[in-house]
Amino acid sequence: MTARDSKPPAKSSGSRENVRRCPICGKPRSELYDPFCSKRCADVDLHHWLKGSYIIPGASAPREGGDEDE
């Protein structure tokens, strides 16, 4: 292998950025709405967060005694 042989993978990883897709519909991303393709897909994602469809895993907080004292 030569130094030239190692350069094409760098180009392919750079071109991979151009292939990145919208996580909602799979269309190519828009620079204006990145990481989405449009305002509609950005709003759909926001709706998923607001209604609780997306959950970030973590330890549950204890509920014993905290609310009863107030």
pLDDT, mean over the chain: 78
* Residue 5 forms part of a structural domain: no
Is residue 10 situated within a structural domain? Answer: no
Could you give the C-alpha distances from 22 to 14, 17, 34, 48, 52, in angstroms and in order? 18, 12, 8, 15, 20
Residue 30 belongs to some domain of the structure = yes
CATH number at residue 40: 3.30.50.10
pTM confidence score: 0.55
**Does 36 reside within a domain?**
yes
42 CB contacts (<8 Å, ≥6 apart)?
Answer: 33, 36
In a domain, 8, yes or no: no
In a domain, 37, yes or no: yes
Encoded tokens for 11: 């180009």
Question: Where in the sequence is the domain holding 30, given as residue range(s)?
Answer: 19-53
The proportion of the chain whose per-residue pLDDT surpasses 70, expressed as a percent, equals 66
Residue at 60 is within a domain: no
* Number of domains present in the structure of the chain: 1
